[in-house]
Amino acid sequence: MKAFSYVSAADVPAALRAISTEPNAKFIGGGTNLVDLMREEIERPDTIIDITRLPLSGIEELPGGGVRIGAMVRNSHLAADRLIRMRYPMLSQAVLTGASAQLRNMATVGGNLLQRTRCLYFYDGAAACNKREPGRGCDAIGGFTRNHAILGASGACVATHPSDMCVALAALDATVVAESVRGVRRIPMTEFHLLPGGTPDVETALAPDELITAVELPEIPVAATSAYRKVRDRASYAFALVSVAAALETSDGAVSAVRLALGGVAAKPWRAHLAEQVLLGAPATEESFQRAAAAELAPAVAQSQNAFKIELARRTIVATLRRLLTDGSAA
State the SS3 of 221-241.
Answer: HHHHCEEEEEECCCCCCCCCC
- Asked if the model's pLDDT at residue 194 lies above 70, the reply is yes
Residue 311 is part of a domain; what is its CATH number?
A: 3.30.390.50
Q: Is residue 28 part of a domain?
A: yes
Q: Is residue 178 part of a domain?
A: no
Residues 6+ apart with CB under 8 A from 290: 314, 318
Q: Is residue 160 part of a domain?
A: no
Domains held by the chain: number:
2
In this predicted structure, what is the pLDDT of residue 52? 96
- ∠ CA 236-115-226, nearest 5°, is 55
Over pLDDT 90: what percentage of the chain?
Answer: 92
Q: Is residue 292 part of a domain?
A: yes
Q: Is residue 80 part of a domain?
A: no
Q: Is residue 308 part of a domain?
A: yes
Q: Is residue 243 part of a domain?
A: yes
- Asked if the model's pLDDT at residue 331 lies above 50, the reply is no
- Asked if the model's pLDDT at residue 189 lies above 70, the reply is yes
Residues 6+ apart with CB under 8 A from 315: none
Dump pLDDT digits (tens) for 96-148.
999 888 989 999 999 999 999 999 999 999 999 999 999 999 999 999 999 99
Q: End-to-end CA distance of the chain: give it in Å, rounded.
A: 55
Q: Is residue 217 part of a domain?
A: no
3-class secondary-structure state, position 20: helix
Strands (E), 145-263: 175-180, 183-188, 211-217, 226-231, 242-251, 254-263
- What's the domain range around 12? 5-49
Using an 8 Å Cβ cutoff, are 55 and 214 in contact?
no
H helices present in the chain, as ranges: 12-21, 34-39, 75-80, 82-87, 89-97, 101-106, 109-114, 120-123, 165-171, 189-192, 273-279, 286-297, 308-326
Question: To which H or E segment does residue 25 belong?
Answer: strand 25-28
pTM of the model: 0.96
Average pLDDT, rounded, for the chain: 95
User: Helices 286-297 & 308-326, crossing angle to 10 degrees?
Assistant: 150
